[in-house]
Chains A and B, each alone.
Chain A
Amino acid sequence: MNLRGIGILAALAVAALVFWVTGPPNQPDQVRIGFVTTLTTGTGVIGADMRDAFELALDHMGRTMGGLDVSVSYEDDAVDPSIGRQKTERLVQRDKVHFVSGFIWSNVLLASYQAATDNDVFLIGANAGPSQLAGEACNRNFFSTSWQNDQTTMAMGEVLNDQVSTVYVMAPNYAAGRNMIAGVERTFQGEIADKTLTQFPDQLDFAAELANIRAASPEAVWVFYPGNFGTQFFQQYSQAGLLGEIPLYSTFSIDALNLPQIGELVEGTQMTQSWSPDMDNPANQKFVGDFRAKYGRYPSFYAAQAYDAAMLIRSAVEAVEGDLEDLNGLRQALARADFQSVRGKFSFGENHFPIQDFFLREVVRDADGAFTTRIVDVVYSDHVDPYAKDCSMQP
C-alpha cells in the first residue's frame, strides 16, 4: 500500500473539508430568518404564494425590524420530511438563523421542529397545526400563526348541524385527512351517511367514489381535498352531475390558488376558515389590496398566515429593541402577539396556538368577475383548540 500517497490525499481532503465547513460569515446586525416551504413538485404553488406574502410583509416593514436589516432564505422541502429536516438543520446550525418559519405539511413540521426548538431558535409555523404540537409536545419555542388541524372542521360540524341531518364524508387516507374527518365527527350530531377514505397520495380519479355517493344519495357531502386534489375533485363532482343535486361542503379544499380554475363550478359552495380576503380591518385591507396590486391575484389563506408570521416576528424583534440575544424577551414578546393581524384580533393560548374566530365563507364573484370568498357567518368566537388542555408549557 502506498502510504505516502494516501497521506497526501488525506491531507488534501481534510483541507477541502476545512475550506468547505467555513460557512458564510455571521453578520451580527441582521435578523436572519429561514422559511421552509414547498417550492417545487405539483404543490409548489402553495410555497410560492407564501413566499410572495412574506416578501410583501418585508416590503411593508421596509425590510427592517427594530432597526436591523432582515435577510430571509427560502428553502424547498419538496414535501419530504427528511429534506425539510435537513434544510432546517442547515438554517439553524450553519446559517445561524434567529427564526424559522413556513411549514405547510404536518409530517415535515413534525420531522423538523426539534432541529430549531432544541437550539433555542424560534419556529413560527405558518400552516401545519398537528395535534402533537398543540398538546403534549407543545414547546416554548414553537408558535403557530395558523390553527390546530381539528378546529376548522369542528366549525364545519357545527355548520352542518344547522343545515342537514345526514352527511357523506370523504378525505384522502393520511393523517391530516383522518384528523379532519375526526374534527367533523367531534361536533356533528347528525348521522354520518358513509365515510370514504381515498388512497393517498396517488388517487386522483374519484369515479368509483362518486358513483357510490350517487347511489347513497345523502343529504349533503363534505370533503377535505387540499391543493391539487381539490381541483380534481370538484371537476369530477361537476362532471358526474352531482353539483346541483347534492350540496357540497368542504374544508381547506377551495382556496385562492385553485379558484381561478374551478370558481365557476363551486360558486356558492360553503366552507369554514379563520380568515377571508373580505375581512374588514385595516391590516387585511392593506395586505389584500397590496398583494393584488403586486401579484395580480387574490392571496390564499396560506399567504395570510405567512404574512402574519412575518408581522409576529417583527413585533418580537421590536419589543427587545433588536437585541436578538435576549431569548426570554423575544419569547415573551412572541407570546404577547402584539401585532396587527390580518384576522383583526389575534392572541395566543397557553400552547402558543391562536385563539381566534372561525367563519363560514362562500365562493362569490367580486366586482371584476374574479372568484373569491366572503364571510357569511361567525361559527366560533375565540375558539381554543381541543388539545390545549394537554399542554403544560415549560417556562
Chain B
Amino acid sequence: MMTLVFEQALNGVQLGVLLFLLAAGLTLVFGIMNFVNLAHGSLYMVGAYFAATFIPWSGSFIVGALLALAATAAVGMALEVLIFRRLYHRDHMDQVLATFGLILFFNELVLMVWGPAGLSIAVPSWLVGQVNIIPGVPYPAYRLAVLVTGLAAAAFLYVLVSRTRTGMRIRAGASDQQMAQALGVDIKLLFTGIVGLGAALAALAGLLAAPLRSVYAGMGEDILVLAFVVVVIGGIGSIRGAFVAALGVGLIDTVGRAFLPRVLDALLSDQIADAVAPALSTTLIYLTMVVVLAIRPRGLFPAPGQ
C-alpha cells in the first residue's frame, strides 16, 4: 500500500510539473502585461503539432523538440506583435473575446493543415520501458523524464527571473513600466520576449505530453482550464505560486482519482459510491479553487502590485 501511495504521489507530481509549464507562461503574461490569454492552450497544441512534424523529419527527439520550441516561440511572438500588444490596456473581457477567436482559428487551422486524424509522437527509444525507483515499483521511464524535465525548466525559470539581468528587467517591467522604460529597458521588445518564452514553455508542455496524450485539435482546451485554475490558486503573476499550486492540483487530482473511490466504497453503499466518486473527483479541483478563493480572494501568493 505504501508503495502504491508513493507511486501515485509521483504521478501527481508528474501531472503537476506539466501543469506548471503551461501555467508559468500564463501567469507571466497575466502578471506583467495584465493580459488574459485564452489562446495559451492553442500554443500548447501548436507546439505538439510542430514536434510531431519535426521529430520524424529530423529523426531525433531532441532536435525535433528544440525546433518545435523555437517555432512555437516564433508563433507566440508574432501573435504578440500583431494582436496582443494592442490589447494590453483593454478590458479583460476584450482580451478574452479576441483570444477566444484565436482558439477557434487555431483549432480549425490544425485540422486543415494536418488533417482530422491527429498525430502521435513515439516515446524515444532510450526512454522506453520502466525504471525501478524503489524496489517493486516499476515506473515508466518516460514519465520520470517528463518529471525531471519539468523540474529543470522550473529551476531555469527561477534562476532566469531572480538571478539574471533579463529577470531584473522582467521584474522591473512588472512593477513599474514607466520607470523601467526610463531606465532604458525596451518594454516592447521585453514583452514580445516574455510571450515568446511563455509560448516555448507551453510548447514544451505540449510535446512532453504528446507521447502520453497524443496530438489532436482542441487538446489545448482540455488542459487550459486546469492551468487557469493553477494560476488563480497560486495568485496571478506569481511564478512561485504557480509552482506550488501546480503540484498541489496535480497531487489532489491524482490522489483523488486513485483513492477517493475506495474511501467512498468503504463509507457508502456500492451503488451510491459508484455514482458519487467520479463526479466528486471531477469537481475536486474546482472545489479546491473555490475554497482557496473564498478564503484568499487573490490566491495563495498574491504578487505585489497586482
Contacts and interface: CB of A to CB of B under 8 A. Distances in A.
Establish whether A and B are touching in the complex (CB under 8 Å): yes
Interface in A226-277: 228, 231-232, 235-236, 239-241, 257, 261-262
Contact of B278 (A199, A207, A231): A199
Interface string B263-295: 000000000001001110110000000000000
A44 B212 contact: no
Interface string A135-158: 000000000000000000000000
Contacts of B14: 207
Interface in B194-223: 211-214, 216-219, 222-223
A190 interface: no
| B contact face: mostly helix, strand, loop, or mixed | helix
A215 B4 contact: yes
Contacts of B11: 207-208, 211
Nearest to A177: B278
A234 to B, nearest CB: 10
Contact of A241 (B8, B138, B217, B255): B138
B7 A211 contact: yes
B298 interface: no
Size category of the binding interface on chain B: 35 or more
A262 B119 CA distance: 11
B169 interface: no
B140 A257 contact: no
A197 B7 contact: no
Given A235-B211, A261-B120, A207 B254 contact: yes
Given A197-B277, A211-B258, A42 B118 contact: yes
Interface in A1-59: 39-42, 44-45, 47-48
B108 interface: yes
A212 B258 contact: yes
A205 B213 contact: yes
A164 interface: no
A66 B15 CA distance: 58
A43 B257 CA distance: 25
A241 B213 contact: no
B4 A239 contact: no
A185 B143 CA distance: 33
Contacts of B123: 239
Given A196-B261, A205-B213, A41 B274 contact: no
A257 B119 CA distance: 11
A142 B140 CA distance: 48
A118 interface: no
Contacts of B118: 42, 45, 228, 231
A191 interface: no
By size class, the interface of chain A is 35 or more
A208 B222 contact: no
Contacts of B143: 207, 239
Interface string A193-213: 001111101111101110110
B101 interface: no
B222 A202 contact: yes
A369 B190 CA distance: 52
Interface in B1-35: 4, 7-8, 11-12, 14-15
Contacts of B281: 199
Given A40-B108, A45-B118, A232 B217 contact: no
Contact of B257 (A44, A198, A228): A198
B130 interface: yes
A369 B214 CA distance: 23
A201 B221 CA distance: 11
B82 interface: no
Given A207-B143, A239-B143, A241-B130, A41 B212 contact: no
A255 B8 CA distance: 31
Given A232-B214, A239-B212, A199 B120 contact: no
Nearest to B18: A205
B27 to A, nearest CB: 21
Nearest to A212: B258
A374 to B, nearest CB: 23
Nearest to A38: B116
Nearest to B108: A40
A173 B261 CA distance: 13
B119 to A, nearest CB: 8
Contacts of B255: 208
B214 A241 contact: no
B257 A195 contact: no
Given A199-B257, A241-B129, A261 B111 contact: no
A44 B129 CA distance: 32
The 5 closest A-B pairs by CB, nearest first: A44-B116, A42-B216, A207-B11, A173-B278, A208-B258
26 contacts: A40-B108, A40-B111, A40-B116, A42-B216, A45-B115, A45-B116, A45-B117, A48-B117, A173-B278, A173-B282, A199-B282, A201-B222, A207-B14, A207-B143, A208-B11, A208-B255, A209-B258, A211-B258, A212-B258, A232-B213, A232-B214, A235-B120, A239-B142, A239-B211, A240-B130, A261-B214
Given A45-B117, A239-B211, 15 more contacts: A40-B107, A40-B116, A41-B107, A45-B118, A198-B257, A203-B257, A205-B15, A207-B14, A208-B254, A211-B8, A228-B214, A231-B120, A236-B140, A241-B138, A257-B117
